[in-house]
Amino acid sequence: MGLPGAEMDLSAPAVQALHSAPASEAGQLEAILGGEGPVTWRWWQTGLEWARAVCAVRERLGGRIGTGFLVRAGDPAAERLVLTNHHVVNDQGVSPGLPP
């Protein structure tokens, strides 16, 4: 995979230790995978694609104020906009928000 940290390098003894580890508790797999169970590779690809549209809204040279999503306004030819919440960007710049 081309994502940072998506590679794992295990020695043979480490793999053997994982293989011989005791079985997980009964509810653990459901807690990890959710009520629907395993999902398809395409589902994961779609999630990664959508995640590319998420951004952090920050003060200039400051900390993160909130998040936003890159969207198209109206039709596919329209310009892209960042959609966020009122507490992140508002006309008055009410804290912790920023003015547009």
3-class SS string, the chain: CCCCCCCCCCCHHHHHHHHCCCCCCCCHHHHHHCCCCCCCHHHHHHHHHHHCCEEEEECCCCCEEEEEEEEECCCCCCCEEEECCCCCECCCCCCCCECC
**pTM (predicted TM-score):** 0.50
Report pLDDT digits (tens) over 49-79.
889 889 999 988 888 899 999 888 777 777 8
pLDDT at residue 74 in the model: 77
**pLDDT over threshold 80, residue 6:** no
pLDDT at residue 26 in the model: 57
